[in-house]
Structure 1
Amino acid sequence: MTFPRIGGGAVALRTARAFAVLAGRSLLLGPATAAAWLRGERFDRDAWLADTVAALGPAFVKAAQLLSTRADILPPRTCRALSRLHDQVRPAPPRTLPPALRFGAGVPRLVGAGSIACVYRVDLPDGQAVAAKVRRPGIVRSLSADLAMLERGARVAARLPVLRGVPVTAVAAQLAESIRAQLDFGREAERLEGFRKALSVADGVTVPGVRPGLSTEDILVMDFLDGLARRRPEELGEAERRNAVVTALRAVYRMLFLDGVVHCDLHPGNLYFREDGSIVVLDAGFTVQLSEPAREKFAAFFYCMSQGDGEACADIVLSTAKAPPGSDTARFRADLAALVAEHTGRSAADFDLVSFAARLFDLQRGHGLHADPQFVFPILSLLVLEGTVREFHPDVDFQREARPMLVTALMERVVAVPQETR
């Protein structure tokens, strides 16, 4: 699909509006708190925070959704407040649905409201229920303006000394491209169907099927799945919690290491744990397709890390990054080997992926290496997933669960190389 061209004036205006929203909402905080106190009520700061993020726009909502899973970065209360934005964003006015859906019994029922689209349950004439994901009015232009602001802000941030060597502009560009892709329902339908087929061999994973005959450019129609609810860890038994987390990890690893598809949006609004320990994966909008070399090298990096082979990890990073003349690669190898040794074999309760990723990029920056931005998205995907599953099964070993898929991915490459050289 095509996106509107956003000029410098429009970006400046959008930036000014964002600051105006922040200023206005901050001024509201004082009087609203005082008024609630005079009425003998407790001011709902959580609602204020969620409403402020929603008022800033869809790009800010997407960022908040990712941050809401990181209880190790933000206070738990803040995470709970931002988690409202998974599927409880203020709904858009009803859109005109296609005739095939209007002929259903009764009125379409809103079941979820996200930053880009709202989801309705629609009963078809034959009695089947479908989920209609309807794009919000005006979202294409407003999101394009947000992302243009993000990209320009990244270019400014890249000049800061503290970010020297970090691929800020490349990451921002790929992030913006990935978020724009969420507006393309045709692409999402293809990805969702690809997920469903790829994960059909995985036990305990359900992905809704797409109804292409009913879908349009603005509406994506899928099978409706009953019984989806965001559950707290205490609502599931210990065995079911463990099964659900391990099933989710293996599904993500299958997509990442075998298919090269990175699902960057597995927050609790898109990943559901069922009472029997099975999972449901929804929404394929925020996904990234890795290049084949990037897929192979990330799989090799993760495998070597799980084996505690820091020097091999360093070789892989050096093969993907740009090293300046005269850089001390031997020192970099030694530093990365020490970092890998420190983190190898830790459970989710002890393994801090945020800390590992930050120190990895600090090492690269300290040695003047320019990292490959395609390495960022798999880490982002695992960061979001880690934040989602940490509460349910803190002792799961992320690296051990990855090894079967890693071995399969690496063996496929070994078998393919002789054929490619014939």
Structure 2
Amino acid sequence: MTVGRIGGGAVALRTARAFAVLAVRMLLLGPATAAAWLRGRSLARDVWLADTVVALGPAFVKAAQLLSTRADLLPPRVCRALSRLHDQVRPLPPSALPPALRFGTGEPRLVGAGSIACVYRVVLPDGRAVAAKVRRPGIVRSLTADLAMLEQGARLMARLPRLRGVPVTAVAAQLTASIRAQLDFAREAESLEGFRKALGEVDGVTVPGVRPGLSTEDILVMDFVDGLARRRPEDLGEEERRNAVVAALRAVYRMLFLDGVVHCDLHPGNLYFRADGSIVVLDAGFTVRLSGSAREKFAAFFYCMSQGDGEACADIVLSTASAAPGADTARFRTGLAALVAEHTGRSAADFDLVSFAAKLFDLQRAHGLHADPQFVFPILSLLVLEGTVREFHPDVDFQREARPALVTALMERVVAEPREAR
């Protein structure tokens, strides 16, 4: 599908609207909280926060979904408040359901409501159930306006002295393009089928198949997976928690290091742990495909990091980054070697990916290096997953679980090199 661009006037209007919504919501916070307290509702502020994000627009909902997994960055209560935005956004009214959804028998049953689409369980005439993902009416224009506003904000942020050398605008452009691509259900169907075939080789992972004959531009129809529930760590035994976390990590590493695909949206609304320790991966809209070079470089970086080889990590980063005049690569090497040594071999409970990524980009900025934006997306994917991993199995070793996929990826490259040289 083709998504039109938004002019500067529309962006300014959208920005003004966002500030107006926030101002009104702030004014209502006091009276609304008091009224809710009188009615015996103790979670008034949590509801207010989630409703405010929804009122701001779909791009803000997407950002809140990602942040909700980061209990290390935000208070747990805030994460819980935002977590309802994974699949409990305001649903479509029955009158807004497209006639094309009537391919089943009976009434469609809502099973999830996200920022871009709602998902319904529909029973086919033969008695089998499917999941129909229905795009929200008007979402193309509203999301495009939101993303244009965020891109403009990134351009302003890039001028700050603190962010010089950080690829803010390049990352924002790729990020907004990836979010905008979630509007394209044909692209998502192709990505989902690719995931299903690739992850079929990973034990304990299920990805629903696509029903292309029933899908349209506005509706993506998939197999319905029964028994999905939002589980807390205490709902699973220790072995099941470990198995689910390891399966999730191996699935991500398979996609990242072997297929060159980054799933940036593995929050609990798209990643389900089952009672038997297996997992279900849903939704393939928010994905980024890495270039072959970026995939190989990131795989090599992660492997060298798992081995504690900071010098090799520095070589890889320097081969991908661009250097400003006067760049101090020697001091960058020393700093990165120390950073890798500090983080190698830590469990999920002790390995802080946020801190590591921030220090990595700070090192590059401080020594005159401009990072490759494609290195940011794999880190974003792992950041979203890291919160869930820490909650369910904090003793897992992020780096050790990556090694099988890393070794396979690096061996494939070694085998391919002689062929390319012919």
Corresponding residue number in structure 2 for 1:346: 346
Query: Which deviates further from its counterpart, 256-265 or 386-395?
Result: 386-395
Q: Deviations over 1:188-227 (max 9, x none)?
A: 0000000000011111110000000000000000000100
Residue 196 of structure 2 is aligned to residue 196 of structure 1:
yes
Q: Distance in 2 between matches of 1:162 and 1:3?
A: 34
Q: 1:104 deviation in Å?
A: 2.2
Q: Which residue identity is paired with 2:10?
A: A
1:122-271 matches, within 5 Å, as: 122-271=122-271
CA distance in 2, matches of 1:229, 1:88: 13
The alpha carbon displacement at 1:327 in A equals 1.7
1:39 Cα deviation after fit? 4.9
Q: 1:43 to 1:246 in 2, by over 3 A?
A: closer
CA displacement 1:232-273 (0-9 Å, x = unmatched): 000000000000000110010000000000000000000000
> Segments of 4+ in structure 1 off by > 3 A?
36-43, 94-99
Please name the residue that 1:404 is paired with.
404
Residue type at the aligned position of 1:32? A
Rounded Cα–Cα distance in structure 2 between residues aligned with 1:408 and 1:249: 15
How far did residue 35 of structure 1 move? 2.6
For 1:68, give the aligned amino acid.
S
Gaps of 5+ in 2: none
Deviations 1:21-75 (A, max 9, x none): 1000000011112333455653511111000001100000000000000000000
Aligned to 2:29: 29
Q: What residue is the counterpart of 1:382 in the other structure?
A: 382
One-letter identity of the residue aligned with 1:210: V
For residues 377 and 71 of structure 1, what CA distance do their matches in structure 2 show?
20
How many aligned positions are there? 421
Identify unmatched segments of 5+ residues in structure 1. Answer: none
| AA partner of residue 184 (structure 1) | D
Tell me what 2:17 maps to. 17
Once the two structures are TM-superposed, the CA of residue 90 in structure 1 deviates from its matched residue by: 0.3
Contact 1:116 1:183 in 2 (8 A): yes
**Mean alpha-carbon deviation: is it higher for 38-47 or for 294-303?**
38-47
**Kept in 2: contact 1:154–1:168 (CA 8 A):** yes
Matches within 5 A, 1:101-112: 101-112=101-112
- 2:154–2:168 contact (8 Å) kept in structure 1: yes
**Contact 2:326–2:368 at 8 Å: present in 1 too?**
no
Structure 1 pair 243–40 and aligned structure 2 pair: CA distance change class (3 A): closer
2:290 paired residue number:
290
Secondary structure of 1:107's match?
A: strand
Cα contact 1:107–1:122 (8 A) shared by 2: yes
Q: Secondary structure at the match of 2:272?
A: strand
**Residue 74 (structure 2) aligns with:** 74
**Residues in 2 aligned to 1:110 and 1:420: alpha-carbon distance in whole angstroms:** 51
Q: Over residues 268-316 of structure 1, what are the superposed CA-to-partner deviations in whole Å (9 max), with x where a residue is unaligned?
A: 0000000000000000000000000000000000000000000110111
2:280 match: secondary structure = strand
> Contact (CA 8 Å) 1:243, 1:278: kept in 2 or not?
yes
Q: Distance in 2 between matches of 1:34 and 1:126?
A: 52
Task: Tell me, yes or no, if the aligned pair for 1:32 and 1:43 is still in contact at 8 Å.
Answer: no
Q: For each residue in 1:134-191, what CA deviation from the matched residue of structure 2 results, as whole angstroms up to 9, or x when unmatched?
A: 0000000000000000011100110000111100000000000000000000000000
Three-state SS of the structure 2 residue aligned to 1:182 is: helix
Letter in 2 for 1:128: R
TM-score when normalising by structure 2: 0.98
Show the counterpart of 1:92.
92
> Structure 2 CA distance, aligned partners of 1:102 and 1:40?
41
* Aligned residue number for residue 119 of structure 2: 119
102 and 365 in structure 1: CA distance in 2 versus 1, 3 angstrom threshold: same
Other structure's SS at 2:152 match: helix
Identity %: 88
State how far apart, in whole Å, the 1-side matches of 2:303 and 2:38 are: 60
> Are 1:348 and 1:396, in contact at CA under 8 Å, matched by a contact in 2?
yes
Counterpart contact for 1:86–1:114, Cα < 8 Å: yes
The letter for the 1-side match of 2:387 is G
User: CA offsets per residue over residues 395-414 of structure 1, 9 Å max, x none?
Assistant: 00000000111010001000
2:325–2:368 Cα contact (<8 Å) kept: no
